[in-house]
Amino acid sequence: MKKENLSPDEIYLKDERFRISYYFSLQRLMDSLRKIGLINPPLVTVRNGRFILVTGWKRVLACLQLSFASIPVEVSGVDDDLQNFLIAVHENLATREFSLIEKAEIIGKLKTLGVKKNEVIRNYLPLLDIPANSSFYELYLSLAGFEPELKEVIHKKDIPLSVLQIFSELKPEAQKLVLPILLPLGQNKQKEILEDLLEISRRENIGVENILQNEEILSIQGLEKLSPLQKADNIRSFLRKRRYPSFSRWKESFDSSLKKMRWPKEIALKHTPFFEDEDMSVTFSFKNKKEYEENVEKLKQMASKKEFSKLFR
Amino acid sequence: MAGSSYVPQKVYIEEASLEYPSTRQIIERLEGVPTEIIQNPQKIIQRLHDSQDWVAEGKRHLLLARQQGSFVKPCPCTPHYIGCNYYIINLVFNCPLDCTYCILQDYLSHPLITIFVNLEDLWKELDIFLQKREGAYLRIGTGELGDSLAVDHLTEHSKALIFYFRGKDKAFLELKTKTVEINNILKLQPADNVVISWSLNSFRIAKEEEKGAPGIETRIMAAKRVSEKGFKLGFHFDPLIRYSGWEMDYAEVIKLLLKTVDPLKIAWISLGSLRFPPSLKPLIKQRFPHTQIIYDELIKGKDGKYRYFKPLRLELYQKIVSLIKGCGGEEIPLYFCMESEEIWRKALNWSPKGKEDVEELLSPWSNQRNS
């Protein structure tokens, strides 16, 4: 390892073979560099007569933005790419936690550098706090293969692995279409949309991207008066109905009967989940005998209506 | 193994199992298959974990072990639905067949086909168990955590079990299978308290979702042979699976069954629709990427398992019941596996108050049956 001073321009940044991090803000680092300069020199190595960066991407990019004329660097004498990459991994590992996309980059690059699957599973997944099994290896590898814009959104929006696990089953064109729908939603609803899409796709033997081009979905997306969250929720309901048509019809008919009967809002009528049991329950609150009797009277009135028996199909 | 008997790639023998006669007999019947004596199977199981499909890999390996827990257990059924008071004998864990919907893929702690060789302990346990239940009728079988006959050519369990239960009139033994491993049974005299049962499905489901199992016609022909030998028969349409054209397909099988086999020889037919715990779904997706069966309208039932939305189940059952009754099976006792009181009532116009009522329905001594 020897020290040198280089102009940041002399480092060939297009060679990203050792790069782990892509999506970061340089602002705080630039503030620090302005005040105290570059204290920890980046690590470079020489390939094809050019300096390429091993560690210190943020530092070099910040120095470039600040137009530093010269920066101190350490030059690695290690020829082996894997060894250099591991230096980069361990240096980062010592100081911070990797994001999900960074872990995916590492696994992807280990594969590119010729590390066998079993070795990655056995030696590197535990290092990255990933369960050491084949399915996690495959999952992270597929994340590494996502397009950069997609990775950036996933990184910035901190989309959880459980969602990405399903997301990764989509084709790239479907991923691009569905991502904006998912972003305003919470994790459970994100998973629900993805699962419904995949299962409709498999059952009806059509591509997810075709489902997303459905007229109703497009018209929901075109409604300017709706917020992104409202649009996402409406699309979710549309997909639920398509995934569970019989149950949805049953539920709609039940709700419609209640509506026709003008079921009193102050009395809650509950059926069991998915109408699996015949049992139903009513709940109301009351402060005194009069209120109690009024509610009981309302229930009697409901029972006398023709629609009432339709609740018990 | 659709047309041939199961032969493992390798046999692992737990050291403690070596002394049992059953171990020696199985090894003799597997002449030429490599064997390895092991202290315990943990290392083998660990090695299987690294394979791409550990369930499939496990089926290629046979483990001979001692049953260290109880052989006899109440059938676990499922919470919140009506059971049938069945008991299971755990002599074999796992199955060489590879059905898409099989719960064993997820249920068992390891995928090795495991044969328990300490039969001497089983007989002792059964003696005590039956003694304790003296006076009470009992239905008991081996086909819950494995197929009753799939490895019978190696174990000859059918012979031993029928020999044990013959004459124990209050206990009704059921051997349940999808295979046609009936050679041992055909060599025996029938016993009044023994039922040989087949799981049946539509031709399409059998072909597409029951990998390794003989076709439906072959199963029905095997049942006919067993029936002609004098044994009572049982059939299990379980899991019934919906798809476009299911009505016609199931009608075809029911017609064939009741044309081939004398309905009076049928002790019972059970019906159950597709159901599985959520944990099995990813495994099915991974192991059977082309299957469609898990994408129908399966909702989470009261027991947390996926099952068809109730009106769809009811439609399925009502159709199958009417087909059975319409094809000459009016007198065959029908029952549901893991269903609600409402389903019983709406599909059979009768509902049991609990599992004892179901047992009563299925007992050969039943008043309900004879009335």
Q: Across the interface, which of B295, B296, B301 has its CB nearest the CB of A276?
A: B301
Q: What is the rounded CA–CA span in Å between residue A98 and residue A129?
A: 10
Helix (H) or strand (E) holding A112: helix A100-112
Q: What is the rounded CA–CA span in Å between residue B352 and residue A113?
A: 66
What is the tens place of the pLDDT at every residue in B217-241? 999 999 999 999 999 999 999 999 9
Q: Which of B143, B121, B125, B5 is nearest to B65 (CA)?
A: B121
By residue count, chain B amounts to: 371
**A275 reaches B (C-beta below 8 A):** yes
B289-293: Cβ within 8 A, 24+ apart: B291/B100, B291/B208, B291/B209, B292/A202, B292/A203, B292/B243, B293/B100, B293/B101, B293/B205, B293/B209, B293/B241, B293/B243
Which residues lie below 8 Å from residue A297, measured CB to CB, with a gap of 6+? none
Please report residues of B whose CB lies closer than 8 A to that of A250.
309, 311
Q: Across the interface, which of B292, B302, B311 has its CB nearest the CB of A202?
A: B292
Pairwise CB contact (< 8 Å): A247 & B299: yes
Counting Cβ atoms within 10 Å, is residue A20 exposed (0-12), middle (13-18) or buried (19+)?
A: buried
pLDDT at residue B368 tops 60: no
The pLDDT, as a whole number, for residue B369 is: 47
Residue B63 CA: distances (Å) to CA of B56, B93, B361? 15, 10, 38
Please report residues of B whose CB lies closer than 8 A to that of A118.
50
Counting Cβ atoms within 10 Å, is residue B1 exposed (0-12), middle (13-18) or buried (19+)?
A: middle
The model carries a pTM of 0.87
Pairwise CB contact (< 8 Å): A276 & B296: no
pLDDT at residue B186 tops 70: yes
CA B41 to chain centre: 25
Pairwise CB contact (< 8 Å): A276 & B295: no
For residue A40, the number of C-alpha atoms closer than 13 Å in the C-beta half-sphere is 10
What is the tens place of the pLDDT at every residue in B16-65? 999 999 999 999 999 999 999 999 999 999 888 778 899 999 999 999 99
pLDDT at residue B2 tops 60: no
Choice between B19 and B135, residue whose per-residue pLDDT is larger? B19
Pairwise CB contact (< 8 Å): B342 & A245: no
Instruction: Quickly count: other Cβ atoms within 10 Å of residue B327's Cβ.
Output: 16
Q: Across the interface, which of A118, A203, A276 has its CB nearest the CB of B302?
A: A276
**A162 reaches B (C-beta below 8 A):** no
Q: What is the rounded CA–CA span in Å between residue B83 and residue B105?
A: 23
How far does the CA of residue A103 sit from the closest CA of chain B (Å)?
A: 22
Which residues lie below 8 Å from residue A124, measured CB to CB, with a gap of 6+? A106, A107, A110, A115
Q: Which of A296, A262, A301 is nearest to A282 (CA)?
A: A296
The pLDDT, as a whole number, for residue B50 is: 74
Q: What is the rounded CA–CA span in Å between residue B30 and residue A221?
A: 65
pLDDT at residue B66 tops 80: yes
Which residues lie below 8 Å from residue B195, measured CB to CB, with a gap of 6+? B172, B173, B174, B175, B231, B232, B233, B234, B267, B268
Using a pLDDT cut of 70, give the percent of chain B over it: 97
**B50 reaches A (C-beta below 8 A):** yes
Q: Which of B308, B365, B294 is nearest to B340 (CA)?
A: B308
3-class SS shares of chain A: helix, strand, coil, % to 5: 60, 10, 30
Asked if residues B93 and B80 have their Cβ atoms less than 8 Å apart, the reply is: no
B347-354: Cβ within 8 A, 24+ apart: B347/B314, B347/B317, B347/B318, B347/B321, B348/B321, B352/B82, B354/B82
Instruction: Quickly count: other Cβ atoms within 10 Å of residue B52's Cβ.
Output: 8
Coil, strand or helix at B278 = coil
Q: What is the rounded CA–CA span in Å between residue A17 and residue B92?
A: 53
How far does the CA of residue A62 sit from the closest CA of chain B (Å)?
A: 44
Pairwise CB contact (< 8 Å): B309 & A277: no
**B183 reaches A (C-beta below 8 A):** no
Q: Across the interface, which of B49, B295, B297 has its CB nearest the CB of A247?
A: B297
- Helix axis angle for A215-222 and A228-243, nearest 10°, is 160
What type of residue is A1?
M
How far does the CA of residue A258 sit from the closest CA of chain B (Å)?
A: 20
Pairwise CB contact (< 8 Å): A246 & B311: yes
- Chain A contact probe: residue of B55, B296, B299, B342 with most A CBs at under 10 A: B299
Counting Cβ atoms within 10 Å, is residue A117 exposed (0-12), middle (13-18) or buried (19+)?
A: middle
Q: Which of B100, B4, B12 is nearest to B55 (CA)?
A: B100
DSSP secondary structure string for all residues of B33-56: S-EEEES-THHHHHHHHTSS-HHH
**A253 reaches B (C-beta below 8 A):** no
Asked if residues B72 and B129 have their Cβ atoms less than 8 Å apart, the reply is: yes
Q: Nearest chain A residue to B340 by CA: give it.
A: A277
Question: ∠ at Cα B90 (B54, B307), nearest 5°?
Answer: 65
Q: Which of B43, B181, B170 is nearest to B112 (CA)?
A: B43
Q: Report the phi/psi class of residue B110: left, alpha or beta, with left for phi > 0 and alpha for psi in -120 to 50.
A: beta
Which residue, chain included where needed, has tokens 């790069």? A19
Give chain B's largest Cα–Cα span: 58
B24 — phi, psi (to 5°)?
A: -60, -45
Q: Report the phi/psi class of residue B167: left, alpha or beta, with left for phi > 0 and alpha for psi in -120 to 50.
A: left
**B330 reaches A (C-beta below 8 A):** no
pLDDT at residue B136 tops 60: yes
How far does the CA of residue A245 sit from the closest CA of chain B (Å)?
A: 8
How far does the CA of residue B299 sit from the closest CA of chain A (Å)?
A: 7
Pairwise CB contact (< 8 Å): B310 & A274: yes
Q: Which two tokens stand for residue A262?
A: 């003008």
- B210-211 vs B98-99, strand pairing mode: antiparallel
How far does the CA of residue B294 sit from the closest CA of chain A (Å)?
A: 9
What is the tens place of the pLDDT at every residue in B164-184? 999 998 899 999 999 999 999
Q: What is the rounded CA–CA span in Å between residue B311 and residue B229?
A: 41
pLDDT tens for chain A, 313 residues long, are 789 899 999 999 999 999 998 888 899 999 999 999 999 999 999 999 999 999 999 999 999 999 999 999 999 989 999 999 999 999 999 888 899 999 999 999 999 999 999 999 999 999 999 999 888 999 999 999 998 999 999 998 889 999 999 999 999 999 999 999 999 999 999 999 999 999 999 999 999 999 999 999 999 999 999 999 999 999 999 999 999 999 999 999 999 999 999 999 999 999 999 999 999 999 999 999 999 999 999 999 999 999 999 998 7
Q: What is the DSSP-derived secondary structure letter of residue B337?
A: S
Q: Nearest chain A residue to B49 by CA: give it.
A: A133
Coil, strand or helix at B289 = coil
**With bands split at pLDDT 50, 70 and 90, how would you rate the model's confidence at B371?**
very low
Coil, strand or helix at B76 = coil
Please report residues of A whose CB lies closer than 8 A to that of B50.
118, 134
Q: Nearest chain A residue to B301 by CA: give it.
A: A276
The per-residue b/e assignment along A140-174, b for 16 or more CB within 10 angstroms, e otherwise, is bbbbbebeeebbebbbeeebebebbbbbbbbeeeb
Residue B26 CA: distances (Å) to CA of A102, B62, B68, B152? 53, 11, 19, 10
Q: In the CATH scheme, what architecture does the domain B68-362 have?
A: Alpha-Beta Horseshoe (3.80)
How far does the CA of residue B78 sit from the closest CA of chain A (Å)?
A: 15
Please report residues of B whose CB lies closer than 8 A to that of A135.
286
pLDDT at residue B306 tops 90: yes
Please report residues of A whose CB lies closer than 8 A to that of B302.
272, 276-277
ipTM score of complex: 0.88
Please report residues of B whose CB lies closer than 8 A to that of A246.
297, 309, 311-312
Asked if residues B14 and B42 have their Cβ atoms less than 8 Å apart, the reply is: no
Please report residues of A whose CB lies closer than 8 A to that of B340.
276-277
Q: Across the interface, which of A247, A272, A277 has its CB nearest the CB of B309?
A: A247
What is the tens place of the pLDDT at every residue in B141-157? 998 899 999 999 999 99
**B295 reaches A (C-beta below 8 A):** yes
Question: ∠ at Cα A174 (A173, A180), nearest 5°?
Answer: 105
- B306-308 vs B275-276, strand pairing mode: antiparallel
Pairwise CB contact (< 8 Å): A199 & B295: yes
All structural domains of chain B with their residue ranges: 68-362
